[in-house]
Amino acid sequence: MTTKYYDTFSIVSRFTGYTSDITIGDFYNDLAAKYCGSTAILGGFNQTAREEKTEKSEEAENSDKSEESGNNSSNEESSENKSKDDNIITNPEHLTSGTSSITGKRGTENFGLAVFKDGIFNGELTATESICHLLITNELDSCVLSIDDPFHDGDKLEVELSPAKKTKTTVKIENEIPKISINLSLNTDILTLESDTDYEIDEILRKLAGSTEKYLKEQFNNYLNKISKEYNTDIDQFCAKAQSNFLTIPEWENFNWSEKFKNSEFDVNIDINIVSSPLVTKT
């Protein structure tokens, strides 16, 4: 079962973005790099499997206590179920391995990425942060995200994103501060259709594109602040672009990218090409 899972892992990861198909060779090469950080697949034992294991190990003890608890059993059970529901995470913005509510015989799961700097574990990326990382590094074919519905307050729309062209990144150095520009061009299909909305009207599509862009910019800003300010780990290899600002290797080394990266300023530009729906345009 595990072998079959990882046989398809490289394909699945490119169409979800929730993690990345990182080989031992990729991990070692990034680990050995002097100025860049490295990532690894983040694995965990899912919450449901942990609870099932705990329940089985305590089954005998609970069965003995159940007769004594009698009248209070119903209230305790209700409280316990509520507590479990509160701990369930389904939003990819917060989802990492070991936190999902997925059930299955395998018990393990892979969501997010583990971040390393100088060979030391530095932190975790959520599923959404992994999508941001893969879009920047051009390692994602498509993914599905939930954005705010601009026509119905409090509702969500599901959209499928796919790169229209490769992401372009430029790095300039001003007053010893890295100025990093990231330009993304994305095709977007609407997967959620509302009966009272005409998705072929230009104004409707512009509002949907605006809502998608707003959501993505917020997620990218959160992600970039996390890897630069919190982790200070260049896992997107911006350093490769930054080197062009220096004429000699000694000048580059004296700049001390590993230290300056945390002061980076980011400018994210996203071009959204949104269509009405694959149900309308692709059939």
Reported as a single tens digit per residue, the pLDDT across 64-121 is: 555 455 444 444 444 444 444 445 445 666 656 555 555 555 566 767 898 998 888 8
Pairwise CA distance, residues 205 & 23, whole Å? 40
Residue 89 belongs to what domain range? 2-281
Percentage of residues in the chain with pLDDT exceeding 70? 66
Is it the case that residue 175 has pLDDT exceeding 90? yes
* pLDDT at residue number 233: 94
Enter the tokens of residue 106: 């395998």
pLDDT band, residue 264 (cuts 50/70/90):
very high
Find out whether 266 and 180 touch, Cβ atoms under 8 Å. yes
Averaged over 25-48, what is the pLDDT? 77
The pLDDT of residue 81:
46
In total, how many domains does the chain have?
1
pTM for the full predicted model: 0.77
- Comparing CA positions, the residue from 173, 154, 167 lying closest to residue 243 is 173
For residue 14, the SS3 value is helix
Q: For the domain that residue 149 is a member of, what is the CATH number? A: 3.30.300.210
- 170 pLDDT tier (thresholds 50, 70, 90): very high
Mean pLDDT for 28-43 is: 82
Q: Note the residue count of the chain.
A: 283
Tens-digit pLDDT profile for residues 194-244: 766 676 778 888 899 999 999 999 999 999 999 999 999 999 999 999 999
